[in-house]
């Protein structure tokens, strides 16, 4: 069974780096606190509750990938797919909703912490890596991505987002992770 991922077109690729143009989407997201792993677990549970029937219609919604996480930023609105990012211990964890839904057709979340929002089309610079998405690995990949963007004179905006594509039982060497940063248009 295939899991839906956000739709994008690759406009540039070099080894593990890509520049992607993402279509608009709708996402469910929560803001949680803690370290990267704890926030990811807490956010995932809250969002899973929503898609597994914790909504006004008690309707199940198909799971999509990736789960995104990014640090909360005072300056920039979050625009990545399913992501998690850290700032002062606050993280936004996001599930992109299946493309069959719009903001108007999704059921209202039962938990007030779950927010639905429209994500505008956007361009991102991305680096892909396998293994566990430990904070050290994410920081290292983020630094590589920032260096790549600077070398190519790409203007980034907002925080880096961590996108994780696999369920927890996936073997470490088969895991697909990405760090992505939005680019200025």
The residue to which tokens 């070398």 are assigned: 151
Task: Tell me the C-alpha distance between 30 and 175, whole Å.
Answer: 24
pLDDT at 89 over 90: no
Q: Which CATH number fits domain 8-183: 1.10.645.10, 3.20.80.10, 1.10.10.10, 3.30.379.10?
A: 3.20.80.10
Beta strands per DSSP E along 45-145: 67-71, 84-87, 90-96, 115-119, 122-129
Which tens digit of pLDDT belongs to each residue from 1-44? 579 999 999 999 999 999 999 999 999 999 999 999 999 999 99
Residue 91: phi, psi to the nearest 5? Answer: -130, 145
Q: What is the pLDDT of residues 14-24, one digit of tens each?
A: 999 999 999 99
């Amino acid at each position: 069974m295939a899991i839906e991922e956000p739709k994008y077109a690759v406009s540039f690729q070099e080894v593990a780096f890509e520049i992607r143009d993402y279509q608009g989407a709708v996402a469910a997201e929560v803001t949680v606190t803690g370290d990267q792993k704890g926030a990811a677990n807490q956010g995932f549970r809250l969002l899973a509750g929503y898609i597994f029937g914790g909504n006004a219609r008690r309707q199940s919604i198909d799971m999509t990938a990736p789960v995104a996480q990014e640090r909360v930023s005072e300056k920039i609105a979050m625009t990545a797919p399913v992501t998690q990012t850290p700032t002062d211990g606050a993280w936004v964890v996001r599930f992109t909703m299946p493309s069959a839904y719009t903001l108007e057709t999704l059921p209202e979340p039962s938990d007030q912490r779950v927010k639905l929002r429209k994500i505008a089309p956007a361009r991102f610079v991305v680096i892909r890596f396998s293994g566990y998405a430990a904070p050290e690995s994410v920081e290292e990949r983020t630094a590589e991505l920032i260096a790549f963007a600077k070398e190519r004179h790409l203007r980034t905006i907002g925080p880096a987002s961590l996108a994780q594509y696999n369920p927890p039982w996936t073997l470490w060497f088969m895991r697909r992770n990405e760090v992505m940063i939005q680019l200025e248009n």
